[in-house]
Amino acid sequence: MAFNALYLGALVLGAAAHPSQYGSGKSGASGRTTINVNAAQKYQPFDGMGFSEAFQRGTQIYGAGGLSAANTSRVLDLLYSNVNGAGMTILRNGIGSSVNHPYDLMPSIEPVSPGSPNNTPTYDWEGTIKPGFGLDGGQLRLTKDAIARGVQKIYADAWSAPAFMKNNSNENYGGYLCGVTGIDCETGDWRQAYANYLVQYLKFYEQEGINIDYVGFLNEPDLNVSYASMLSDGQQAADFLTVLYPTLEASHLKTEIACCDGSGWEQNRERLAGLQAAGAEYTLGLVTAHGYSSPPGAPFATDRKVWETEWADLEGPHTLAWHENGTSGEGLTWANNIQQLFAVSNVSATLYWIGADNTTSNSALILLNNDTVHVSKRLWAFAQYSRFVKPGATRIEVASSNAALNMTAFENADKTVAVQVINNSNYTQAVTVQGLPVGKHSSVVGWLTNNEHDLSKMGVQRVAGGGIGTSIPALSMMSFVASG
Ligand SMILES: *[C@@H]1O[C@H](CO)[C@@H](O)[C@H](O)[C@H]1NC(C)=O
Ligand SMILES: *[C@@H]1O[C@H](CO)[C@@H](O)[C@H](O)[C@H]1NC(C)=O
Ligand SMILES: *[C@@H]1O[C@H](CO)[C@@H](O)[C@H](O)[C@H]1NC(C)=O
Ligand SMILES: *[C@@H]1O[C@H](CO)[C@@H](O)[C@H](O)[C@H]1NC(C)=O
Ligand SMILES: *[C@@H]1O[C@H](CO)[C@@H](O)[C@H](O)[C@H]1NC(C)=O
Ligand SMILES: *[C@@H]1O[C@H](CO)[C@@H](O)[C@H](O)[C@H]1NC(C)=O
Ligand SMILES: *[C@@H]1O[C@H](CO)[C@@H](O)[C@H](O)[C@H]1NC(C)=O
Ligand SMILES: *[C@@H]1O[C@H](CO)[C@@H](O)[C@H](O)[C@H]1NC(C)=O
Ligand SMILES: *[C@@H]1O[C@H](CO)[C@@H](O)[C@H](O)[C@H]1NC(C)=O
Ligand SMILES: CC(=O)N[C@H]1CO[C@H](CO)[C@@H](O)[C@@H]1O
């Protein structure tokens, strides 16, 4: 791509006529679009981006399906590196409920019922070993590697309580936690026992040197499915949250509670409203929701931070492409999904479902097949954000007179600014970006992803007034990173 020929140094001098750091907001002459970044207008905090390797998917990274050690390193680089990967900073682990663990079940730390909620439980951390892959079905090993590579937040989420704590006596097929509203079990009220169980899981990680930042006790509580699952409405969530909260408080752990990982935005909104009505919102550190059953839309009515903790293309045709025909697994589709999550749904974090897996669907960012590694453009869509926006950043205003432009901007803690611009049109768009940090040693770099490029570094022209001028190819995404 003849990108350098798209420099428009002379043209953008016109933009320098705007003395204000934030420009005038008007489109320039010659069809140029002026993009105005305004760091004075701040929105939600940014916590990071990530994925999960639950259900033993992590063992695929370490060779369960034939990946060589050389490619294990390559895959970890692709996921975590700030030099040749996506620079992801969040890992979501699954807290198991299975009494044994053939591929791909997640082992429980309490496989045997103590008989009654008041009896002393027997916790079993050693029993969660996956031979060759270590504790917690392989997740502990990945968690350690992820932290060593810069991951800053660990979210541990249970898909179900152990079967003996539920009214269907099964970790699968929904069922409810015994003791919440409307669920009376012959064996009694297991809420405190489940809270103790979750806290014990956190303590096992602590003894391995890892602080789990957030703990969740539900996954898609609106769905009754054939794998680990547990149903709950908002009132029932509140019935457990008000037991888990003081249990965590009484421990020395710093872990905060996340809820409710509804299968879609609206399913989660309903549960959040229910637990708020029951007076339990004070227990939450984080509101968490998925993107499947109903796509992310309007923000939730809460002042808690919101994370989109799981979403993927599970049904579209298998694709590694950036843009073919706009199907649900394409990279450009995910670039837009992520943009809307931050700009419209007010999330502080965006997680894909799986990072790397030996799947033949689009449910992972990197598709493994024995020792071959297929990197989807979805990974680079995430990288356009996660390489340059780091935990501690704040979303800031970015606007242009072209109402159709899809953009986000963030100011990092170190005051570098990263702006993401998606051009969904079939035409190259000339843009001038104003309002970037200006300083003696300031620099701006452009990063491009499209059908031809995977986060390629692009020179951009700095113009007077602190702006930059460049052109964004059709059906492409560019990030601009400016240091002050
Ligand atoms: C992935 O590998 C596991 C063994 O680790 C195997 O059981 C499973 O069938 C494989 N999945 C696919 C889709 O190849
Ligand atoms: C991976 O490929 C190697 C070499 O061809 C083969 O021996 C091995 O059985 C394959 N493993 C899997 C899980 O398909
Ligand atoms: C568990 O409780 C739900 C809700 O009351 C009920 O529909 C279901 O039948 C119960 N399951 C069993 C196995 O009793
Ligand atoms: C969940 O699905 C199973 C299997 O279809 C069914 O037997 C059970 O009654 C369902 N449970 C609830 C609470 O809907
Ligand atoms: C966005 O989320 C933050 C918390 O992260 C909250 O304070 C703010 O009110 C939310 N804004 C909207 C429009 O919901
Ligand atoms: C999209 O393009 C791909 C590759 O050409 C093709 O396999 C697929 O069928 C197309 N899908 C649709 C919905 O047009
Ligand atoms: C690693 O993956 C690449 C890309 O799929 C493949 O060409 C190579 O053979 C694999 N193995 C090693 C040891 O690099
Ligand atoms: C771009 O943003 C506008 C305004 O939020 C939205 O209506 C439109 O759907 C977005 N486009 C894409 C492709 O997401
Ligand atoms: C781009 O061109 C294709 C093929 O001609 C057309 O289907 C599509 O609607 C165009 N997209 C836009 C955003 O104009
Ligand atoms: C600046 C720019 O390229 N904007 C385009 C981005 O994509 C949307 C949707 O196709 C177009 O409407 C914009 O003109």
Q: Note the pLDDT of residue 420.
A: 98
CA 120 to chain centre: 37
Query: Ligand 10 pocket check: which of 423, 431, 477, 480 to mutate, most ligand atoms within 8 Å of Cβ?
Result: 423
pLDDT band at residue 450 under the 50/70/90 scheme: very high
From the CA of 230, which ligand is nearest?
4
CB 245 within 8 A of CB 275: no
Helix or strand holding residue 38 (H, E): strand 33-45
pLDDT at site 427: 87
Residue of the nearest CA to atom 7 in ligand 10?
A: 424
- C-alpha torsion sign, points 171, 176, 178, 184: negative
Q: Is the dihedral of CA 386, 388, 394, 399 positive or negative?
A: negative
Q: How far is CA 313 from CA 38, 292, 364, in A?
A: 34, 9, 9
37 lines ligand 1 (CB under 6 A): no
- Whether 24 has a pLDDT exceeding 50, the answer reads no
Tell whether ligand 1 has an atom less than 6 A from the beta carbon of residue 358.
yes
Quick one: pLDDT band at residue 331, thresholds 50, 70, 90?
A: very high
User: Which whole number is the average pLDDT over 92-96?
Assistant: 98
Mean pLDDT of 55-60: 98
Q: Which atom of ligand 9 is nearest to the CA of 425?
A: 13
169 ligand 5 Cβ < 6 A: no
Residue-level pLDDT at 334:
98
- The CATH superfamily holding the domain 19-42+396-483 is Golgi alpha-mannosidase II (2.60.40.1180)
Of 247 and 8, the structure prediction assigns the larger pLDDT to: 247
Listed residue (354, 482, 351) closest to 420, CA to CA: 482
Helix spans in 185-305 (H): 191-207, 234-250, 265-277
Convert the pLDDT of each residue in 370-416 to its tens digit. Answer: 999 999 999 999 999 999 999 999 999 999 987 667 999 999 999 99
**Ligand 2 atom nearest to CA at 64:** 13
Closest ligand 1 atom to residue 64 Cα is 5
- Is the per-residue pLDDT at 16 higher than 50? no
The percent of residues in the chain predicted with pLDDT above 70, rounded, is 93
Of 3.40.50.720, 3.20.20.80, 3.40.50.740, 1.10.10.10, the CATH number of 47-391 is: 3.20.20.80
| Cβ of residue 370 lying under 6 Å from some atom of ligand 1 | no
The rounded Å distance from CA 93 to ligand 1 centre is 19
For residue 395, report the distance from its CA to the centre of ligand 1, in Å: 40
| CA 61 / ligand 2 centre spacing (Å) | 15
What pLDDT, on the 0 to 100 scale, is given for residue 26?
A: 34
The residue to which tokens 């937040």 are assigned: 153
Whether the predicted pLDDT of 12 surpasses 60: no
Give the model's confidence band at 116: pLDDT under 50 very low, under 70 low, under 90 confident, else very high: very high
Strand 214-216 with 153-158, pairing: parallel
Q: What is the pLDDT of residue 466?
A: 67
Rounded Cα–Cα distance for residues 243 and 191 (Å): 7
**Would you say residue 195 has pLDDT above 70?**
yes
**Residue 422: nearest ligand to its CA?**
10
Averaged over 166-173, what is the pLDDT?
98
- CB burial class (10 A; 0-12, 13-18, 19+) of residue 366? buried
Pocket of ligand 2 (CB under 6 A): 65-66, 370
Q: Cis before residue 259, ω within 30 degrees of 0?
A: no
C-beta of 63 in contact with ligand 1 (< 6 A): no
Give residue 404's pLDDT.
64
Cβ 309 vs Cβ 288: under 8 Å:
yes
Strand 33-45 vs strand 214-216: parallel, antiparallel, or unpaired?
A: unpaired
In whole angstroms, give the CA distance from residue 414 to residue 439. Answer: 14
Would you list the domain boundaries of the chain? 19-42+396-483, 47-391
Give pLDDT tens digits for 243-288. 999 999 999 999 999 999 999 999 999 999 999 999 999 999 999 9
Q: Which ligand minimizes its atom distance to the CA of 358?
A: 1
- 326 touches 333 (CB < 8 A): yes
Ligand at shortest distance from the CA of 300: 5
65 lines ligand 1 (CB under 6 A): yes
Mean pLDDT, rounded, for 151-166 = 98
pTM: 0.93
What average pLDDT does the segment 179-207 reach? 98
Q: Any bridge partners for residue 134, and if so which?
A: 130
Mean pLDDT of 62-86: 98
- pLDDT classification of 303: cutoffs 50, 70, 90: very high
Query: Helices (H) and strands (E) in the chain — how many of each?
Result: 9, 20
**17-26, 192-201, 435-444: the lowest-pLDDT one:** 17-26
Closest atom of ligand 6 to 327 CA is 13
Can you tell me the distance from the alpha carbon of 35 to that of 39, in angstroms, rounded to the nearest whole number? Answer: 13
pLDDT of residue 1: 26
Ligand 9 cavity residues, CB under 6 Å: 424-426
Q: What is the pLDDT of residue 8?
A: 26
Would you say residue 9 has pLDDT above 50?
Answer: no
